[in-house]
Amino acid sequence: MSRFWSPSIQSLVPYTPGEQPQVEGLIKLNTNENPYPPAPAVRDVLDQFDTSRLRLYPDPESALLKQSLAHTHGLNTNQVFIGNGSDEVLALTFMALLRQDKPLLLPETTYSFYNVYIDLYGIEARHIELTDDFRIDLSQYQQPNGGIIFANPNAPTGISVPLSEIRALLESNTDSVVVVDEAYVDFGAESATALIDQYPNLLVTQTFSKSRSLAGLRIGCAFGHADLIEALERVKNSFNSYPLDMLAQAVAVASLEDENYFRSRLDQVIATREWTNQQLQTLGFEVLPSHTNFVFASHPNVSGAELMAYLRENKILVRHFTKPRIENHLRITIGTDDEMQTLINYLQQHPKL
């Protein structure tokens, strides 16, 4: 703290990302990274990129990438927004659309960055508990609000809500923006992008970090009515006109063009997730039904903190949250089959399991 800081930032509690250790030989199952490399064409993009072009500014509109995303999702380019990772897209969404007079509604247990944005912008918020089985019950969001945001599938639970329930919410909630954060949607949930043409207050955010194995390049996007996208563009262009660099734009387009590779890696992650789920249940874990590239599990005999420490000693990183209701859970990213076999082997050797 310093007397030179803006008064409003003195009480900020920034987001804490999962650890990125520089130690070799760790099995890293703590930040929901994809275990497989990005599309092979990414190598070609780097090989063929004319580095002298880097002296020029990138296209501030990311036009080619917008066209490619619009084509992929059956949308127009004016329904597509691009940002520096979906965290930036969310930060701009909160600024552009969710600073309202009435309270923002969001789940009590969800992606913890939402509360950091609420803090940063001084937004009034109402947190709604998950059900006893850790689901988001959207019928509870039918109350006066200045906006609604939730992750689908939700994090860190991994559970998704069906599209029919999102549609029902949009039918009754027509006066405020509903943001569906689909960071993990490709791993088995139904995307709300199919509803964009019908509901002018729906914004869907996605990322290339998880399902497209491009966390290292920071590529996020949002889809919605052109008016909502225009709000995001205005705020982006009042904050940072050129957030996505040339290489990231070119690589993202190459990734979108290889649908077969994308699908085959998703299928592999999903198969490994189902195997892992089964193995954990055999060991007595309670595992929530996941539509993501992670599982959220707890064990009646051993605490989450103890299990995390035990795995860490054995060079396996998983994520643990010290929040009420989920403090006994572990969030375990789905790695390769070998990595998950090693995880299960160590758990089998734990004296209390």
Measured in degrees and rounded to the nearest 5, phi and psi for residue 295 equal -120, 150
Short-list 78, 61, 59, CA closest to 70: 78
In this chain, which of 72, 77, 78, 100 binds a copy of itself, going by CB under 8 A?
A: 100
Subset of 140-199 contacting a copy of itself (CB under 8 A): 175-177
Q: Does 116 bind a copy of itself (CB under 8 A)?
A: yes
Q: Which amino acid, 102?
A: K
Q: Which is nearer to a copy of itself, 44 or 129 (CB)?
A: 44
Short-list 170, 111, 101, 91, CA closest to 138: 170
Measured in degrees and rounded to the nearest 5, phi and psi for residue 116 equal -70, -40
Element holding 167 (H helix, E strand): helix 163-172
Subset of 37-66 contacting a copy of itself (CB under 8 A): 37-38, 42-43, 46-47, 49, 51-60
Helix/strand/coil (H/E/C) assignment for every residue in 272-307: HHHHHHHHHHHCCCEECCCCCCEEEEECCCCCHHHH
In this chain, which of 65, 68, 73, 85 binds a copy of itself, going by CB under 8 A?
A: 85
In this chain, which of 26, 120, 168, 194 binds a copy of itself, going by CB under 8 A?
A: 120
Q: Which is nearer to a copy of itself, 240 or 303 (CB)?
A: 240
Q: Which is nearer to a copy of itself, 174 or 278 (CB)?
A: 174
In this chain, which of 245, 258, 306, 337 binds a copy of itself, going by CB under 8 A?
A: 245
State how beta strands 80-83 and 202-207 pair.
unpaired
Q: Does 216 bind a copy of itself (CB under 8 A)?
A: yes
In this chain, which of 26, 72, 99, 257 binds a copy of itself, going by CB under 8 A?
A: 99
Least Å distance, CB 332 to a copy of itself, is 17
